[in-house]
Amino acid sequence: MYVPSHFTQTDPGTLQVFVRTHSFATLVSAGDDEVPLASHLPLLIDEPLGEQGALVGHLARANPHWPALDGRTTLAIFHGPHAYISPTRYGNTSTPDGARHVVPTWNYTAVHVYGTCHLEHDPAVILAILEHYVEFYERGQPTPWRFHADTPFARRLAAQVVAFRIDIARWEGTWKLGQNHAAERRARTAAALDDPQARAIAELMQATLSSQQRAARRT
């Protein structure tokens, strides 16, 4: 992923929180004919596995992607908030520093996770992954639904999916939030973003700006 230095996010804790918050990912790998394959599915972090942790997931056995996963390098793309940024958001664009020297852009956040995929064949492990999924996503429900792994229904379900883990080799994060602009312009842009998706970007922009300003005061 192309990440200019001023947009790079490398803090492990921040990257992991991002993946947990935006867990619906695009999983990409190359097939036997080197044609890229992609599946859209939730992936969960399983930190104890591997030096940099692991991702666990599953897909339908009918999905033709899974035969090309075992032992292969994969890329999991996690998308966060994003928003179109019009130059009109910058404030005064009538000066030499204004309209003639600015262009529209897109602010966004994303994390790429690279690693080696391994299929899980043990039914007990597959059931544990499914149970982990249900617990993770149901915990915010008013009355959480339970997955009973010891039932015939659960075993039939497990037979219809292919579970896997990805031993993580590398993390990449980009927080493209206007860090290449002056603080005043970044603040004006953040204040001008008003729809829900844009407001999420505005909050991240303001948090990043505040963090940089605090760091500058300490130096």
**Could you tell me the domains of the chain?**
5-179 (2.30.110.10)
Q: What percent of the chain has pLDDT over 90?
A: 73
Q: Give the chain's count of helices (H) and strands (E).
A: 5, 7
Q: How far apart are CA 53 and CA 50, in angstroms?
A: 5
Range 87-103 average pLDDT: 67
Average pLDDT of the chain is 90
Structure tokens at 125: 């492990």
Q: Residue 218 — very low, low, confident or very high, per pLDDT cuts 50/70/90?
A: confident
pLDDT digits (tens, 9 = 90+) for 151-199: 999 999 999 999 999 999 999 999 999 999 889 889 999 999 988 889 9
Average pLDDT over residues 103-131: 95
Write the DSSP symbol of residue 149.
Answer: T
- Tokens matching residue 180: 């290449």
What percent of the chain is predicted at pLDDT more than 70?
94
**DSSP readout, 44-106?**
EE-TTSSTT-EEEEEEETT-TTGGGTTT-EEEEEEEEEEEEE-GGGGS--SSTTSGGG---EE
20, pLDDT greater than 60: yes
pTM exceeds 0.85: yes
Distances (CA, A) of 32 to 28, 29, 66: 13, 10, 12
Give me the pLDDT at residue 100, please. 59
Band the pLDDT of 57: cuts 50, 70, 90: very high
pLDDT tier at 33, thresholds 50, 70, 90? confident
The closest alpha carbon to 189, from 110, 100, 97, 107, belongs to: 107
Across 49-63, average pLDDT: 88
Q: Which residues lie across from 76 on neighbouring strands?
A: 27, 113
pLDDT (0 to 100) of residue 49: 56
